[in-house]
Amino acid sequence: LARSPALPQTPYTRCHRVNNPARGAHDRSKRAGMASFQHGMHQAHDATNPDDVGTSPAELKRVLAAQQAAAIANGPPAVAERVRRLELAINLLLDNADEITAAVAKDFGVRPEKVTRFADLLMALESCKQARDKVAAWAAPQRRVVDFPFNLVGATNYIEYTPKGVVGIVGPWNYPVMLVIGPLASAFAAGNSVMIKPSEYAPATAAILGKLVNAAYDETVAHVCNGGASVAAAFCALPFDHIVFTGSTTVGKLVAKAAAENLTPVTLELGGKCPVIIGADANIANAAARVAHGKVLNAGQTCLAPDYVFVPRAKRDAFIAAFEEAVSSMYPDGVLDSADYTSVIDGRHYARLRSMIDGAAAAGCPTVECLGGGGDGKPRPAADACRIPPTLV
């Protein structure tokens, strides 16, 4: 596999199933596992479950078979072809930036245009440009030392990176462009074709990605498959040569379990908890401002957003005051009415966050909602606006 930030450097291998007298029992177990996976995906996403109409299981299998057949028939694509695919992705992002930005805003309700252009579009573009500029070096054979006695007879030794084949990409909703196009860039640089399953919780973005990608690329190179939890379950159960998943730990376990049925290797980028440790001699105002900047980006819906702070007890109140001041300086007219503050993605996530805050308050834990400058006297938006200010517990 060509050297790539998203995928491990392992050779392209293909597993073949052999006839087995226990096959019937295995298939029944696999069907039961698929049902469990779909149930788990529904629970892990939303009890209301978005519309699951989308790419059918038969269509998923057909596209995969077409991509696998093309990979075998055509062999590894030349560096020039990989560059062409990457430049096409760059042009799709540049030429359709306004439409993509509007789709992301529609999914969130409120999401600042500058956040989408920076955190989604620019980051995706940089991934594609880096891969385009470095693919020739990544794909080149690497010489290695020849051991005695073969070095005496003119032997050569090198490592050659070859594509795995077809890579399945399952994207999340929090950065629905960057976390799809980034893995796509890595897969293209490595000479693979891709099938993409965007998050159903960013349906407008998924739709525009499907329209653009499926029109620009032959389906044997790249294809977007849309749909809900059952489509995601069927997608992850396909015998890909590699799966890249970004999302929660709960769903990541389900993806890994489904992939294991086909011995498909996975790259899982799962949500983490990001502590901030503030030393006794730290500048509290600077530290609080930096934490606030990291937390308000995308309303904290970022895997590397700071989640909790360890601060010397004697400086706790000073940190709280400095954090409130930092938020007020960023939002002088208030947070909740600001078009520069992102909404929570949907009602389920809003209710989950709201219950955590209310539960902490009910248990006697002090909570501080940072409403920004002039925000205290303003009426709160309705719950369906999914607006939660930065809150310290």
Sole residue written with tokens 């992939």: 259
Q: Is 20 exposed, middle or buried (0-12, 13-18, 19+ CB in 10 A)?
A: exposed
Q: How long is the chain?
A: 393
Pairing of strands 193-197, 166-170: parallel
Q: Which of 219, 269, 274, 325 is catalytic?
A: 269
CB of 253 closer than 8 Å to CB of 266: no
Query: Which two tokens mark 369?
Result: 């909602």
Q: Which of 219, 274, 303, 325 is catalytic?
A: 303
Sole residue written with tokens 């930030």: 5
Separation CA 135–CA 1 (nearest Å): 11
DSSP secondary structure letters along 232-263: HHHHHTS--SEEEEEE-HHHHHHHHHHHHTTT
CB of 266 closer than 8 Å to CB of 243: yes
DSSP secondary structure letters along 286-332: HHHHHHHHHHHGGGG-STTS--EEE--GGGHHHHHHHHHHHHHHH-T
Tell me if residue 303 is catalytic. Answer: yes
φ, ψ of residue 245 to 5 degrees: the values are: -125, 135
Separation CA 154–CA 145 (nearest Å): 12
> What is the side-by-side order of every strand in the sheet holding 166-170?
222-224, 193-197, 166-170, 242-247, 266-270
Tell me if residue 236 is catalytic. Answer: no
Separation CA 243–CA 64 (nearest Å): 13
Q: Is 274 exposed, middle or buried (0-12, 13-18, 19+ CB in 10 A)?
A: middle
Catalytic positions: 269, 303
